[in-house]
Structure 1
């Protein structure tokens, strides 16, 4: 059997100390294989976003291990951690996190700039991914002037520009109207199918979750169900 692209082993995450301690994750174990689409589902406060942050190496577990393609990520520090995160993962958040007065192209190529890619190559790759997402005509526009759907497509372009193996999408349609949200969903799942990108969606939306290969339900910091979605 192939090595999972992501594995969590008895992962625990706590905040605070003493009487103020809060246990957000209470011994989570799971495997995610390359090319899967996985929904992590739970109510507000269930621990689903904490789990995503730990899996995406944005936060470190209090206890337990997270492995990336069989390698313990606990050994990563500083520049090596940042490089691994930047080249392996793409992020699509409910809050767009675009720099408002920078151009769409400048926002999209930010991961490449962080990675030290030269200006000409950044521009080439940025324009290519904007073309793919039908946003090339907005490349010079300030991000602040985009519609909600255009902003989210720009965020997806930024997530794709480094050819990631995994995309994390945290409530990716939460700030969009129903019709625009459906377009963004179709785009994400199309990229998953066509490019084989592993897609991890954090959501409380059961309809969105049903489009994934698996649904992992989390409650009070524990996985309570892990089910494959019928084809």
Structure 2
């Protein structure tokens, strides 16, 4: 291809049986780390469709490839081989600002380790994705406050993150994930650092967002009870899907 010639977006057509295309599809994903004797194949030919409004659990033992799959699905990492389609668009054509924009606009993230800045307030932590998106200061504050109030944390907006309980921190993380009105929330062991009662509250919040707002929910978890609450469970072992729906080639 000539260096000045634009790439033509590649699309993956829905099958005749599918009346609506998946929001997210992956085809024949491979992800390899290292070379030679140090080579590790984290993903080995994974194909999967995710429909808008679904809740999906990706389960498997440590080292099975489940977190790698989530990072590739969320466009946080690139596959060594294979393709990720977002709204039928081949994401290999997304670069730089376009990639960051698509990720920031479409996805929200909830991680086990919170990744909050302890010295900043809950409100300041929630506004971060809006800063990245270039939203003005007043609009950032209004939208962040709305998200905190939705999570019943409006009264904690000025509290520093370091002073919040574990459950409050995770709700701040969910508020941050919601602030850009994402279509998909990726949650990596979202209750792993919480006691069972607090964890159940966090689960209920996530599934309420899925049920009431139609946000697609993709959860990576070891927790069988949490996985059982999802519409589908995708079991990964040694980098391949061994239980769950494998997309047609």
TM-score, normalization: structure 1? 0.98
Structure 1 stretches lacking a partner, 5+ long: none
CA shift, 1:2, in A, is: 0.5
Aligned equivalent of 1:13: 31
Aligned equivalent of 2:177: 159
2:22 alignment partner, SS class: coil
**Structure 1 runs (4+) greater than 3 angstroms displaced:** none
CA shift, 1:19, in A, is: 1.2
Supply the distance in 1 between the matched residues of 2:194 and 2:130 (Cα, whole angstroms): 27
TM-score, normalization: structure 2? 0.91
Aligned equivalent of 1:172: 190
Alignment of 1:115-126 (within 5 A): 115-126=133-144
Question: 1:155-179 deviations in whole A, cap 9, x for unaligned?
Answer: 0000000000000000000000000
Asked if 1:209 corresponds to 2:223, the answer is: no
The structure with the larger Rg is 2
Asked if 1:98 corresponds to 2:116, the answer is: yes
Supply the distance in 1 between the matched residues of 2:103 and 2:181 (Cα, whole angstroms): 12
Aligned equivalent of 2:203: 185
Alignment of 1:17-36 (within 5 A): 17-36=35-54
Supply the distance in 1 between the matched residues of 2:183 and 2:197 (Cα, whole angstroms): 28
Aligned residue pairs: how many?
Answer: 227
Alignment of 1:42-53 (within 5 A): 42-53=60-71
CA shift, 1:204, in A, is: 1.1
Aligned equivalent of 2:163: 145
Aligned equivalent of 1:222: 240
